[in-house]
Amino acid sequence: MGATVPDILAFDFDGVLCDGLVEYYQTAWQAHGQLFPHSPETPPPGLAEQFYRLRPLVETGWEMPVLLQALLQGISEAEIGHDWPSLAKTLVAAADLTPRQVAQAVDCTRDRWIQADLDHWLSQHRFYPGTLERLQQAMAAGVFAVIISTKEGRFIRQLLAQRGIELADEQVFGKEVKQPKYETLRQVKAGYAERRQLVPQVWFLEDRLQALEAVRQQIDLGSVELFLVDWGYNTEADRQQARQQERIHLLSLSQLVQGFDCWIA
């Protein structure tokens, strides 16, 4: 294929194809009530909207109920954004908790919800406009599409199946693979090269700048085109940093739905 058409198109899931903000908030709220004493029975007005705005600061799931704790303590959004990693650790320690304990509470909350009403849990997710159509168009054009995500593969499959999209086992790499995304990219690239007897051009779409930076540091993945999607869970600072990176392209939804030749400025 030509330079402006990838052989392999790799998508992150949450924040690229799928918006799970509503599910994140509801799971975080339930977990917060279990973890923090004196948690209110009902969330105060505007809490969800604050959580949605600050969600890009969250690197891993245990931080979500801690973010709610910060907001409930009246800490300003500006202060939270100034040094969230340090603040999160301080709040966890102040509650005599560990990130591992908070993570277990989040996972157990989500598992109970899924076991009690999977359809309701699935319904709390939506797909970003045009993303699934672009995925289908790429596959119809012969591009090998894969999803590389920290969400469990079975849930990715169920959410896609609701929209009539079925992917093969070799196209979905979820939380269960337990390895960095760059390692999965490496394996997908090698497998494609072995099957097709050619070195594939790989494009990778992510909403987390840190994940793209990790790929960028892999010498053998130097030919992979990296895209930071501007509609996902990232901040303006992340997007500005991407603009200054030669290897990382900032991608908008309006570009996504156009031809591949419009993706790289």
How far apart are alpha carbons 114 and 64 in whole angstroms?
18
pLDDT at site 264: 87
Residue with tokens 């790799």: 10
Per-residue pLDDT tens for 44-98? 999 999 999 999 999 888 999 999 999 999 999 999 999 999 999 999 999 999 9
The percent of residues above 90 in pLDDT, for the chain, comes to 90
pLDDT at site 37: 83
Strand partners for 250 = 228
DSSP assignment of 110-164 equals HHHHHHH-HHHHHHT-EEPTTHHHHHHHHHHTT-EEEEE-SS-HHHHHHHHHTTT
Give the lowest-confidence range in 3-7, 212-216, 240-244. 3-7
Give the domain ranges of the chain. Answer: 8-19+126-262, 21-123
Q: pLDDT-based confidence at 1, cuts 50/70/90?
A: very low
pTM of the model: 0.90
Per-residue pLDDT tens for 152-192? 899 999 999 999 999 999 999 998 999 999 999 999 999 99
Looking at residues 13-20, what average pLDDT do you find? 96
DSSP assignment of 7-50 equals SEEEE-SBTTTEE-HHHHHHHHHHHHHHHSTT--SSPPTTHHHH
Structural tokens at position 251:
């991608």
Looking at residues 14-33, what average pLDDT do you find? 96
Parallel/antiparallel/unpaired status of strands 172-173 and 144-148? parallel
Looking at residues 181-208, what average pLDDT do you find? 96
pLDDT at site 168: 93
Q: pLDDT-based confidence at 3, cuts 50/70/90?
A: low
Q: What Rg, from alpha-carbon coordinates, does the chain have?
A: 19
Judge: domain 8-19+126-262, CATH 3.10.20.30: no
Neighbouring residues of 106: CB distance < 8 A, sequence distance ≥ 6:
27, 28, 31, 61, 62, 64, 65
Res 105 pLDDT > 90:
yes
pLDDT at site 2: 41
Under a CB-based contact definition with an 8 Å cutoff, are residues 10 and 148 in contact? Answer: yes
